[in-house]
Structure 1
Amino acid sequence: MTVHPWWCEACQNGMQSQKSFLEHICGKRHRRLTANFSAPKDIPHPNIDFQITEDTLIKDLLAGRFQNIVMCTGAGVSTSAGIPDFRSKGGLFEHVQSRFGSRFPELSGSPEILLSRTFRQQYPVIWEAEVSPWLKSWKIKEAKPTMAHWFGAFLARRGWLRRLYTQNIDGLHTHPTLLDAAPALNDLVIECHGSIRDGTVVMYGDALPNAFFSSCREDFRALPHPPVDLVLVMGTSLQVAPFCAVPNLAPPGAIRVLVNRRIADCLTNSFNPTPCSPYQFNPTIRSSSSTKLGGRLVTLRSQWTSLKRWRGKQLLVEEDGDVFLTRIFEQRYAMCFECSSLVEHVTVCEISISNDEQDVS
């Protein structure tokens, strides 16, 4: 049995086009049927691209069309380095519970409390003697950069990277091996939540560093720099504010690309209205869904289904980021390896950086 490409499981109805599918899921009938459920997770996600394709994106990227690229990364780009998402099985929070849960029962239900300003101030000796050293050694010390980290170095080497914003605290975007290949990375990477490596982790309840806000103002204002022309989002479902608003700062004419293993998780966040009856008050809608960022008011809501603003200017890729980037590197340096099989990602990237240095020289 062939599944209709624009099939709504809740309504048991197939649409004729992507546009009609998006109109349907925002309609009253669909919202009434899904009134008792949160935002759907397993509906066929729409590839919102009408003009740009992966092939044209890669071709234009490698031809140097994009000279002012902003990258936004999350936990997904570090999983292949052996660093799981905090909340996943084997992640940091599970280890927090097993290591400190018996001494601090409150961590059993809310392990993130360990990383709060309140806990650090309440137990300063324990924090400095136990927690801080343990965090610095937790799966971070031996971790090596993945394809996404090397890709940031590649863009910096070419002079195409305007900024790299990351939610990660593993410090891999500024790993010494990457700084050797692309020293400019040191000034271009914004670790929005700090880094375990240098002890600058942003505590729960603390404001993000000033560098995040000042960089957004600098990167997304029209002058004196040329406007951002490509926003590449990888490994994050954009659920945390204000980071989730950064892709929405993209200026008119810019291309937006979202690469994630599960696109459906990125199409809505807690700032989006959830499906409910139009005759019912929905208490889950936040009182404010905007924030001041980049010198202007910007929405925190996911905008990947906004056809009017982003028609033909964005691409959604449901795939592991390493696999996606491997295709870019293989196309750029097809002479260096057999394209019939995937090469170990670190080897591919090191070859790419090495050959790139020869191009520059």
Structure 2
Amino acid sequence: MASSPPPSRPRSPCPPLPPSPSPSPSSSSSSSSSSSDSPPPRKRPRTEHQTTHQQLAHFHTALNAHLAAGATLHQAVRKVLPTNHAHLSAHCAPIFRALAENASLQSNIPAVAALLHRFYPQSALSPPAPSFRVSHFADVAHLLRRAKNVVALVGAGVSVSCGIPDFRSAHGLYHSVAERFGLSDPQQIFCIDHFEDDPSMFFEFASQIMPQPHVRPSPTHRFLAELQSRRRLLRLYSQNIDGLEKRAGVSEQRTVLCHGSFLTATCTSRACKRRVKGTSIAPQVAAGLVPRCIKCQKNSDDDSGGVLKPDIVFFGEKLPNRVADCLETDIEKADLLLVFGTSLQVAPVSKIPAMFYGHVPSVLVNRELVAGHFDVELLGDCDDVVAALRAELGWHDRSAARYVDDARGAAGAATTNVAYHFVPPKRFLFANVGSEGARRDDPEDQNNSNESEDDGVTNASHTS
């Protein structure tokens, strides 16, 4: 996998499926001549066409996910091909030959997915079925109990109980930005072009998203740190910029800050690029002022100096190379994927779960359904789900007191008895979500509907 993402590729829908064959005249006449007492004719099963569509959709999504993480098209194809079908590697030759001879395929991902479907047996192309079935909450706890290399992806939902608002809810940060600055698209405040033209708008607002010293991690943050202390956490991919994972005790080695953080800031002057600790600009940010680089001011004739921009990823900036570097190894090592508190609406981070589909069990912990294919869906507040999981796991050790103290300090009262009910085949609804989550249409076939417009390789931001 390359360390930097490839250029954006135009999107196009998956190739259309062949039409279902129409019934023959003989079958129609026989049906019309049958007596009223005879059973109705059996409908032609559509399993084959449904399977074909699922295969194409699966490979289309998987190819885009690896491309967004920085792989070349050839690398992406190799990663998508099932590793347990090594004896079929000869089938790769026509695919790579077609890629070499037809330059237009380089930007036609659906066509490559169709090639995979053509040259590989059906059994090799189908997304692997989960190796478990969920019927009780204990089954979910069992996944955690046996996991040794958990990969977690978290969004703003894990910090809401700490008093840090999310971005996209009815009363989230984007709503307040639109009202305060009169922006038709509140995401403009995090656009790198707008920041370079006039950083004052961002810093007028930055105090609302900069983590304050008194803010304590949520029970969900503590749970992730506990996974680390129990030697079960392989990696934590965070879309948040509040740095609460570090305050909870998750090591920098285990953490990937996909969208950066306020922990450091860098001078925007190309001649300087001086990096400072985030605490050094905290007073100016809290006051809504634009922090300036002291080094630049000393070397210039005026008092302007370069702007000390917090090291968060704006729209239009690439993700840190560490994201792709860690994914390269984590995809091979992971045995469980946990996704907490995210709408999965911003690429390329929104594509990370697709890289693990079919390889390891995946669990969604969120207040609402999101686009994707998850083996288990736990719909509720992250902290409530975590409390239920710890209770089911029996993790009532000496760290439990710290859990309760921290949760009651800044993140609200800790909950130990959480009500939930099971909605087959894979969904658990917690008390504060109710039946609405079960009635909501599943977005599993809308993987591309909620993502950024450009396929996501550079259109990154801290929002989740």
TM-score bracket for this pair, using the shorter chain length: 0.5 to 0.7
Following the alignment from structure 2 to structure 1, what is the Cα–Cα distance between the partners of residues 131 and 166?
29
Following the alignment from structure 2 to structure 1, what is the Cα–Cα distance between the partners of residues 406 and 355?
31
135, 140, 159: which one aligns with 2:206: 135
The alignment status of 1:51 with 2:133, answered yes or no, reads yes
Given that residues 326 and 345 in structure 1 are in contact (C-alpha distance below 8 angstroms), is that contact kept between their aligned partners in structure 2? no
After the TM superposition, which residues 263-274 of structure 1 pair with which residues of structure 2 at under 5 Å, given as runs? Answer: 263=369, 266=370, 268=371
Partner of residue 388, structure 2: 327
Displacement of 1:258 after TM fit?
A: 1.0
- Cα 1:337–1:146 shift into 2, 3 Å: closer
Partner of residue 353, structure 1: none
Following the alignment from structure 1 to structure 2, what is the Cα–Cα distance between the partners of residues 144 and 337?
16
After the TM superposition, which residues 346-357 of structure 1 pair with which residues of structure 2 at under 5 Å, given as runs? Answer: 346=407
Q: Secondary structure at the match of 1:118?
A: helix
> Please, which moves more after superposition, 323-332 or 48-57?
48-57
- Cα 1:134–1:241 shift into 2, 3 Å: closer
AA aligned to 2:159 is S
Displacement of 1:146 after TM fit?
A: 1.0
Give deviations 1:212-255, integer Å, cap 9, x for gaps: 111111211x3xxxx21100111113222221221222275521
Q: Which runs of no fewer than 5 residues in structure 2 stay unpaired?
A: 1-46, 54-129, 265-309, 412-464
The alignment status of 1:202 with 2:202, answered yes or no, reads no
Q: CA RMSD in A?
A: 3.6
Q: Which runs of no fewer than 5 residues in structure 1 stay unpaired?
A: 1-19, 27-47, 102-106, 269-301, 305-313, 350-361
Q: Secondary structure at the match of 2:215?
A: coil
AA aligned to 1:317 is L
The alignment status of 1:193 with 2:259, answered yes or no, reads yes
Higher alpha-carbon Rg:
2
TM-score, normalisation: structure 2: 0.45
Following the alignment from structure 1 to structure 2, what is the Cα–Cα distance between the partners of residues 186 and 114?
28
The alignment status of 1:303 with 2:376, answered yes or no, reads no
Given that residues 83 and 139 in structure 1 are in contact (C-alpha distance below 8 angstroms), is that contact kept between their aligned partners in structure 2? no
Give deviations 1:153-187, integer Å, cap 9, x for gaps: 00111121111112222221122xx23xx5xx211
Partner of residue 439, structure 2: none
Q: Secondary structure at the match of 2:312?
A: coil
Q: Figure out how many residues of one structure are paired with residues of the other and give that number.
A: 238
The alignment status of 1:92 with 2:167, answered yes or no, reads no
Displacement of 1:336 after TM fit?
A: 7.0
Given that residues 70 and 161 in structure 1 are in contact (C-alpha distance below 8 angstroms), is that contact kept between their aligned partners in structure 2? yes
Give deviations 1:259-295, integer Å, cap 9, x for gaps: 11122xx1x3xxxxxxxxxxxxxxxxxxxxxxxxxxx
Displacement of 1:97 after TM fit?
A: 4.0
The alignment status of 1:71 with 2:141, answered yes or no, reads no
Following the alignment from structure 1 to structure 2, what is the Cα–Cα distance between the partners of residues 187 and 109?
39
Given that residues 156 and 341 in structure 2 are in contact (C-alpha distance below 8 angstroms), is that contact kept between their aligned partners in structure 1? yes
AA aligned to 2:395 is Y
Following the alignment from structure 1 to structure 2, what is the Cα–Cα distance between the partners of residues 335 and 213?
36
Partner of residue 118, structure 1: 193
Give deviations 1:11-36, integer Å, cap 9, x for gaps: xxxxxxxxx9xx8xx9xxxxxxxxxx
- Cα 1:123–1:83 shift into 2, 3 Å: same
Displacement of 1:137 after TM fit?
A: 5.5
134, 142, 148: which one aligns with 2:220: 148
Displacement of 1:89 after TM fit?
A: 4.0
Given that residues 238 and 244 in structure 1 are in contact (C-alpha distance below 8 angstroms), is that contact kept between their aligned partners in structure 2? yes
Q: Percent identity?
A: 30
Following the alignment from structure 1 to structure 2, what is the Cα–Cα distance between the partners of residues 261 and 323?
11
316, 319, 331: which one aligns with 2:377: 316
Given that residues 330 and 337 in structure 1 are in contact (C-alpha distance below 8 angstroms), is that contact kept between their aligned partners in structure 2? no
181, 184, 195: which one aligns with 1:109: 184
Give deviations 1:118-145, integer Å, cap 9, x for gaps: 1121125x36xxx448515546214321
Partner of residue 6, structure 1: none
Partner of residue 61, structure 1: 144
Partner of residue 82, structure 2: none
Partner of residue 342, structure 2: 236
Following the alignment from structure 2 to structure 1, what is the Cα–Cα distance between the partners of residues 208 and 389?
33
Partner of residue 95, structure 2: none
307, 330, 351: which one aligns with 1:219: 330
Following the alignment from structure 1 to structure 2, what is the Cα–Cα distance between the partners of residues 96 and 237?
19
AA aligned to 1:330 is A
AA aligned to 2:206 is L
- Cα 1:243–1:81 shift into 2, 3 Å: same
- Cα 1:251–1:95 shift into 2, 3 Å: closer
The alignment status of 1:247 with 2:369, answered yes or no, reads no
- Cα 1:67–1:50 shift into 2, 3 Å: closer
Following the alignment from structure 1 to structure 2, what is the Cα–Cα distance between the partners of residues 335 and 67?
19
TM-score, normalisation: structure 1: 0.57
Given that residues 163 and 188 in structure 1 are in contact (C-alpha distance below 8 angstroms), is that contact kept between their aligned partners in structure 2? yes
- Cα 1:261–1:247 shift into 2, 3 Å: same
> Please, which moves more after superposition, 107-116 or 76-85?
107-116
- Cα 1:319–1:98 shift into 2, 3 Å: closer
Following the alignment from structure 1 to structure 2, what is the Cα–Cα distance between the partners of residues 214 and 191?
13
Following the alignment from structure 2 to structure 1, what is the Cα–Cα distance between the partners of residues 230 and 408?
19
Given that residues 209 and 242 in structure 2 are in contact (C-alpha distance below 8 angstroms), is that contact kept between their aligned partners in structure 1? no
Partner of residue 311, structure 1: none
AA aligned to 1:213 is A
